[in-house]
């Protein structure tokens, strides 16, 4: 029996939801993504974030979020920040959607 491939966020239902929400509501959540990015930059420095992103971004950017530099940085940062930071960011994204009056229901494809 082969084991199903797991993405880095598959272990946490809240992170899975946020990644899907970011995919489905890219425009609506852009401001919240920018706030998250700014908060990380305040803690570690803008230059550190830029250096990290340059190290982890793939040479060929074919993922849905690679089209937008802010979303791409946010998702890569979400991947490496501590779990408690991931959880807080996820809750903030969901809260932002609720404030915009948008549905949290994920459209399963």
Domain ranges of the chain: 13-99
pLDDT score of 106: 54
pLDDT tens-place string over residues 36-79 = 999 989 988 999 999 988 888 877 778 899 889 899 999 989 98
89 close to 22: Cβ distance less than 8 angstroms: no
The model's pTM is 0.78
pLDDT score of 52: 87
- Report d(CA 49, CA 107) in Å as an integer: 31
Q: pLDDT-based confidence at 1, cuts 50/70/90? A: very low
Where is pLDDT greater, at 18 or 58? 18
85 close to 13: Cβ distance less than 8 angstroms: no
- Report d(CA 70, CA 66) in Å as an integer: 9
């Amino acid at each position: 029996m082969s084991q199903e491939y797991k993405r880095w966020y598959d272990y946490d239902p809240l992170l899975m939801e946020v990644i899907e929400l970011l995919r489905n509501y890219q425009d609506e959540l852009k401001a919240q993504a920018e706030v998250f990015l700014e908060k990380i930059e305040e803690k570690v420095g803008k230059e550190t974030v830029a250096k990290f992103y340059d190290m982890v971004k793939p040479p060929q950017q074919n993922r849905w979020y690679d089209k937008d530099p802010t979303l791409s940085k946010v998702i890569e940062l979400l991947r490496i920040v501590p779990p408690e930071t991931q959880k807080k960011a996820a809750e903030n994204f969901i809260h932002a959607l609720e404030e915009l009056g948008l549905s949290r229901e994920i459209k399963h494809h």
